[in-house]
A and B are shown apart, each in its own frame.
Chain A
Amino acid sequence: MKFLSVINKCTREQIRNFWILILTVSMAPFFVFIYYLILESSKPHYDLLILNQDNGIETMGATINYGDLLLQSAKEFENDTTGIPLSIRKSDDKQAALKRLRTQKSDALVIIPENFSKVIHNPDMVNDTINAEIEFIGDLTNISYMVSAIWANEILNQYMQGLTQENKPIIIKEISLGFSGNIDDFDLVVPGILILSIIMLMLSATVAIVTEVEQKTIIRLKLSEIGTFEFLSGVSIVQIIVGLVSVLLTGIVAYWLGFDFRGSFWSLLLIAVLTSISIIAFSLILAALTKTVSEVLIVGNFPLFLFMFFTGAAFPLEAKEIFTIAGYSVTLPGLMSPSHAIIALRKILILNMGLKDVVPEIIAVVLLTIIYFLIGIWAFKTRHMKVE
């Protein structure tokens, strides 16, 4: 009954502290949006210029220009290949094309020579001295040139193969692991940001507890018949709900911006609830170390920073293994429960794995949560609930 009353009280207070609630739940969706903008604007794109100097040939009363046909074929390649980050432009002036290269507006220039049609049309005349020399021009130290040149080469090969009607002796087939073939950078950061939305609870949960100390209402609670565990559990439930609302909003924004959710919703919910409990448990430690809301905002920034940037929440992070337990890698960031939750969410949401595939991560989160809770309740009781 007392537990329910604490939930009721905290819910009312949380709703009436409208701005704190809004800021807490909107931070992570905002992050998703920022990441989307950053990743969209930084997506690689390659610009290929083709200058056709081919004179063409007269045959059977008509002029054929194989260079124009190559250009047409390149355009078809660009249109037919879905999601290709390549633009193909036709250039009519070599100097203008070179200027575009120098100013990095284009990455590679392909020049089709004057005798291109002549050589294609009369393959018998080809020898060591007579052939069509196609020039590839660009900054050889620039990775964008290399990628553009590879594509140009591919376009050329396909065109030549079409003309010569030769069969390919080798076909290369790419097979993606899971859905990795369809995953872009945005997809990779979304699981981390979903957990980040829960990490943002750290300050609001700590403030919800420390406010009782600062406004001295903790004295009323100490004098009453409520126990520390009962009180803290009531506060925690409300914060878990806030955390889930935050995850939901973050998920909706991510979906709206194109994130393709895979895996089970219930698995996502389970990981979100466990992580919320874990963050709140950690908040108890923080609440035990502080006495005022301003102290929370100063001291709390340090663990918040660690949890945000060293767990892989804000961006994917490769941590160094310290040792392994039953084949499960233990890393330094692994001491922070969100790092395991992020791994679990990546498996569920990106690789479409099931709950049984993330059992080690779930065990790690639960164990760390228990440790945080035990330390937190002991420290809070000793610091704020003890009779001096």
Chain B
Amino acid sequence: MNINKTENNNTVINISHLTKRFGDLVAVDNLDLRIFQGEVFGFLGPNGAGKTTTINMICGLSKPSGGEILFQNFSKQNNRNIRAQIGICPQENIFWPKLTCREQLHFIGRMYNLSTGLLKKRTTELLELMGLKEKSNVLANKLSGGMKRRLNICMALIHDPEILVLDEPEAGLDPQSRVLVRDFIKSLKHDKTIILTTHNMDEADRLSDRVAIIDHGKLLSLNTPSWLKKSIGEGDLVEIILETEKIQRADEMVNSLKELCKQVKFSENALIIKSKGLVGLIPGITEIITNHGNKVMEIRLRENTLEDVFIYLTGRKLR
């Protein structure tokens, strides 16, 4: 990996032409990204889109086949190893099952050369912040799923990294823990650069300053959540699920609908229509559908969400 430190605006990670190949498979295809200091960067994509591969390359766990990743503008501890500036909370909980919560944090902190005093202070702080103080001396394998997840976040932060990579941080958490983790991530904003990968669009929308959507290793879109939502059309969104998967005269139907509302997307047995004043247009839309020999099973009318953007850009097809 080409990792250099350069002085340049407030970009912390500058990814250019990043490519990763596994044999014939191109997992990451010529990816260009800039991640800014102190932002929460949402990294979205369907399974197999190349998110984890990109994160592994950022963390130094995988070598790019092409392109480069530049790290720059670290605010402190500039002499530390680049890897030591990154804290990762992987999707699956990684810890030593036969060590207690406190022992885990002490051990991993030592691996980052933390002094005894600082290590004790940070361990106590993190365990308290993550609601694990009472479990400090409990073996990790005796913790509940949610506690293990929170311990994993503590382990990512023990060495006070500049960049925090959170891979599905809320996966498997109960609502109370989810709120705790979400508030904790918010509290880290501005102090740390956070890369957040998640399938929870609500989580990404609430937490991220900017969101990148990738699929098949390519960047499809990158901007703020509100911009992305607007990008697929202002106004309301209606999602119409048709009764059968064998849609009659689909192209003809879509063209007719487009005469009524400009943004129509058809995928599988669902129509996603975006327009202002959609409520008044619904009778006309259903008439066109019926005239083409199809039956409406369900109509959902709502405001745009990040999930709509995601589905709009990546499609409904299962991966």
Interface residues of A (CB under 8 A from B): 1-2, 5, 8-9, 12-13, 16-17, 215-217, 219-226, 387-388
Cross-chain contact B86 with A223 (CB below 8 angstroms) = yes
* Option from A8, A17, A217, A225 in Cβ contact (under 8 Å) with B112: A225
A231 to chain B, nearest CB (A): 9
> With an 8 A cutoff between CB atoms, is B209 at the interface?
no
The prevalent SS among residues of B at the interface is loop
Cross-chain contact B108 with A215 (CB below 8 angstroms) = no
Cross-chain contact B110 with A215 (CB below 8 angstroms) = no
* Option from A9, A17, A217, A387 in Cβ contact (under 8 Å) with B60: A387
List chain A residues, Cβ under 8 A from B110: 1-2, 5
How many angstroms from the CA of A220 to the CA of B106 in the assembled complex? 13
How many angstroms from the CA of A219 to the CA of B56 in the assembled complex? 10
List chain B residues, Cβ under 8 A from A16: 98, 139
List chain B residues, Cβ under 8 A from A17: 98
Cross-chain contact A215 with B96 (CB below 8 angstroms) = yes
Cross-chain contact A224 with B84 (CB below 8 angstroms) = yes
List chain B residues, Cβ under 8 A from A13: 96, 98-99
> With an 8 A cutoff between CB atoms, is B62 at the interface?
yes
Cross-chain contact B83 with A9 (CB below 8 angstroms) = no
Nearest residue (CB) in A for B20 is A388
> With an 8 A cutoff between CB atoms, is B97 at the interface?
yes
Can you show 21 pairs from A to B with CB atoms below 8 A apart?
A1-B113, A2-B110, A2-B111, A2-B113, A5-B107, A9-B99, A9-B103, A12-B99, A215-B96, A215-B97, A219-B88, A219-B90, A220-B94, A220-B111, A222-B61, A223-B83, A224-B84, A224-B108, A224-B112, A224-B159, A225-B113
Cross-chain contact B84 with A12 (CB below 8 angstroms) = no
How many angstroms from the CA of A219 to the CA of B106 in the assembled complex? 17
Cross-chain contact A9 with B96 (CB below 8 angstroms) = yes
With A1-B113, A5-B111 given, is the CB distance from A220 to B62 under 8 Å?
A: no
B113 to chain A, nearest CB (A): 6
Nearest residue (CB) in B for A231 is B111
> With an 8 A cutoff between CB atoms, is B278 at the interface?
no
With A224-B111, A226-B111 given, is the CB distance from A12 to B103 under 8 Å?
A: yes
> With an 8 A cutoff between CB atoms, is B81 at the interface?
yes
With A224-B108, A225-B113, A387-B1 given, is the CB distance from A12 to B86 under 8 Å?
A: no
Cross-chain contact A217 with B95 (CB below 8 angstroms) = yes
> With an 8 A cutoff between CB atoms, is B49 at the interface?
no
Cross-chain contact A223 with B99 (CB below 8 angstroms) = no
Nearest residue (CB) in B for A4 is B110
List chain A residues, Cβ under 8 A from B128: none
List chain A residues, Cβ under 8 A from B111: 2, 5, 220-221, 224-226
List chain B residues, Cβ under 8 A from A5: 106-107, 110-111
Nearest residue (CB) in B for A388 is B62
List chain A residues, Cβ under 8 A from B81: 225
How many angstroms from the CA of A219 to the CA of B94 in the assembled complex? 8
> With an 8 A cutoff between CB atoms, is B191 at the interface?
no
* Interface contacts beyond A9-B107, A222-B61, A224-B112: sample of 8 additional A-B pairs, CB < 8 Å, sorted by A: A9-B99, A9-B103, A13-B96, A215-B95, A216-B92, A217-B94, A219-B61, A388-B61
* Option from A1, A217, A223, A388 in Cβ contact (under 8 Å) with B96: A217
Nearest residue (CB) in A for B59 is A223
> With an 8 A cutoff between CB atoms, is B214 at the interface?
no
